[in-house]
Structure formats: C-alpha cells, structure tokens
Amino acid sequence: MSTRRKFLGTSIAGIAGLSLLPAINTFASENNIYNRQNTKKLKLRFALASDLHYGQEGTDSDLNAANIVKWLSEDHAKNHLDMIIINGDLVNNRPDLLPVVKTKYFDKLPVPYYTIPGNHDFADAAVWKNVFGYEDKFTVDHGDIGFVFANTADTKGAYVCPDNTFIKTSLEAFKDKKIVFVILHIAPVQWLKSEVAIFLDCPDTIELLHAYPNVKAVFHGHDHSLDGVRYTGKLPHFFDSHVGGSWGTEYKGYRIVEVDEDNAIYTYQVNASQNPLLNSNKL
C-alpha cells in the first residue's frame, strides 16, 4: 500500500513498553488475542478506528465499511466492548455520504459509538448534528472517566486548531474525574519539520492539555501510516492506523483501550486484516 510521505529516522510509530499508569502499547497476537498481565476486572473497554474514507475512488469502500463492523462485532463478542469511537474521515470529500455510512454500516455496530469529523468529511457542527444528532465538539461522561471530542477541520477540508474555549470548559467540568481522554482527528503538534503539512501547530492546545493532570492520553487518526505513540512532554498521543483509504500501513486495524478497576490503562493495536502479520518471526 502506498504512503503519502516518508518519515525521518526519528519517527516513533510502533513503540512498545509505554508507561501509562502503567500501560502497554503493543500489538495483539496473530489471532488478535491480547493477554494482559493484569487480570483485574475492567471498568471500561473501548475501540478507536479512523479513516474509513468511504466513497474514495479506487477503493472498495463497502468492503472496508463492512469489515470494520464485522471486526468490531467479533471483538465485542469475544472480549466485550463498552463503546466505539470513529475518529474522523468517515467519508472522502463527500459529506452527502455521511448518512449512508451511518445508516448502512455504523448503526449496525453492537455497542454505542461516537464520531468526530476529519478533514475529509467537510463537516461543521450543523452537518454533524443533522447526521449524528450531536455537534462537532462534545463530551461523553462515563462515570469517573470523561471523553472530550473536538473538530480539527473546516467544511473545505482545511486544518484548524480545535476550539480551546470548549476544551478548557470541558476539562474544567471533568477536573474531578480520575481519567480524561481527548479525541482529535488531527494532532495539534508537529513533531518533525517534515510534517508541517501533515499535522497542526497549536501550542495553546498542547499547553491546555498539559494543564490538567487527569488528561491521560490523546487519540488521533489522520495519518494512516502511524499506529503507535508519540509524546508531548509526558502526555502520550496514540494513533490507530486506518480502516480504509488508499494509503497507509500495509494492514487495516484499530486500537483497543482498557481501564481496570484500579484505573490502570492498557492499550494495544489490532491488526484486524491480518495482512501482513505483525510481530511474526521465524527462527
């Protein structure tokens, strides 16, 4: 599968051994089974998938959309999911297809799901509310865990920094939560000089996220070739590959996040398409 650009040697995709309360950033095994070291009861388990690009010419959009429903339904049947997050670029420059992909595919997901626009959705608050019933920035309250979602693009596909006033208000409302996760399709920081045209440069957003110790991770889509973690200071930013589109990692997959009863967080990437196998070695 082609890639949109090449990373420098300092790219950080696929790092293992992340410390996050603690956490593990790794890949599921060949049969997509992940054995956690910690066997404590989970209070929350959710999946993040991004970049379906439904309607992109030259791709089998319907197969890709059907696959993500199939993969996540199977994951739920085996391991239980509490919720699913679709992190942007649901469609490919065709906002008129948003109702189609919602009704034909996403509404068949086995658990509640939440979506946020990407730069290829060409959507604002009005468009998103008309299709999904909520605007392009919102929060989800899950007991002592909070989620903050915010749009990072406009209706013409231009990248825009998220609404920091909304983020601050949301983080203030969640300041007594044990854990807060932030969902932004496009990362608000450029880690490498070569990425000026790929990510956003939003220092005020980064400063805001760092000001709240209970913000434990930020999740991004957008860059189909990233499936690991990068950091701003000690704050991890996770990527989840892609479930559609014409470029990116050789496989299609999604990310799982698990929070146990002691608020330890575990996360790993699933190679759902099994093409190619990950971490496979022959000695």
Profile the chain (283 residues) by mean pLDDT over runs of 10 residues. Answer: 32 32 46 61 96 98 98 96 98 98 98 98 98 98 98 98 98 98 98 92 98 98 96 96 96 95 92 72 42
Q: What is the pLDDT of residue 5?
A: 33
Tell which residue, 134, 115, 99, 126, has the closest CA to residue 243. Answer: 115
Q: What is the pLDDT of residue 25?
A: 47
Q: Which two tokens stand for residue 218?
A: 């930020």
Report the 10 Å Cβ neighbour count for 259: 25
- Whether 239 contacts 245, CB under 8 Å: no
Q: What is the pLDDT of residue 275?
A: 81
Q: What is the pLDDT of residue 277?
A: 58
Q: State the Cα–Cα distance between residues 227 and 250, nearest whole angstrom.
A: 11
